[in-house]
Amino acid sequence: MSASRTPGYSRLNKNHKFSIAGVAALGAAALTFSLAPDNASAEADTLSVAAAAPVAWSAAAGSAQAKTVHSSITQQQVGADKVAKAVAEARAKADAKAVAAAKAKAAADAKAKAEAKKRADERAAASRAAARKPVYANNLDGWIREAMSIMKKHNIPGSYEGIHRNIIRESSGNPRAINNWDINAINGIPSKGLLQVIKPTFDAYHIAGTKHDQYDPVANIVAACNYAADRYGSMDNVNSAY
């Protein structure tokens, strides 16, 4: 049985449908464009501004970046100057310290050299003095000669002959001689030594630098001759008990 058709109606195939849709779309687009020309112009202006905006931003950003770089360079230069100044000051201090240390060392070396020279001179002087100092024999002759060298320094008169003569008479040359029988012995102050000097006389006429001992031969001779010089003018003038 065949389908019945409505009078005046024709069937649209698939191609017909696509064609109609395409025409409708084009018509809508044309209608939209014709109805909103101002909007299209605004969109174009917006696109133009948007395109120009990055250029304007880039210029401003470049200027700010240049200022930042300049400021950074300036700060770096200031920092470098400070570092250079600090280094120069440290170097100057180090140089001054080195100079001061060198001067101190030179002064210390000079002082040490002077002290060493002084000690060397003192040793040399002591050596010369020791070489010049006579060595006296430990006997009557040596005692008299040593006593006379001391008497000369103190301006005490007396000759070898006068001293020797009185020693032989008083003690026979015995430095340990003592008189235990005369009036001095009775009074508790016996005469002692080569020239038989009592203690009060020895103490009063003792010469510094000699032993403070009545029995010491040199000290005894010097003290006795000092007393004789004061009492008689010289031991040479003594010819008996004195």
Mean pLDDT to the nearest integer, 72-85? 81
SS (HEC) of the chain = CCCCCCCCCCCCCHHHHHHHHHHHHHHHHHHHHHHCHHHHHHHHHHHHHHHHHHHHHHHHHHHHHHHHHHHHHHHHHHHHHHHHHHHHHHHHHHHHHHHHHHHHHHHHHHHHHHHHHHHHHHHHHHHHHHHHCCCCCCCHHHHHHHHHHHHHHCCCCCCHHHHHHHHHHHHCCCCCCECCCCHHHHCCCCCECCCCECHHHHHHHCCECECCCCCCHHHHHHHHHHHHHHHHCCHHHCCCCC
* 139 vs 32: which has the higher pLDDT: 139
Where is average pLDDT lowest: 9-13, 83-87, 237-241?
A: 9-13
Mean pLDDT of the chain: 80
Q: Which residue has the higher pLDDT, 229 or 8?
A: 229
Model confidence at 80, pLDDT cuts 50, 70, 90, reads confident
What predicted TM-score, i.e. pTM, was given to this entire model?
A: 0.49
pLDDT score of 25 more than 60: no
Q: What is the pLDDT of residues 185-208, one digit of tens each?
A: 999 999 999 999 999 999 999 999
Per-residue model confidence (pLDDT) at position 138: 97
pLDDT at 60 over 80: no
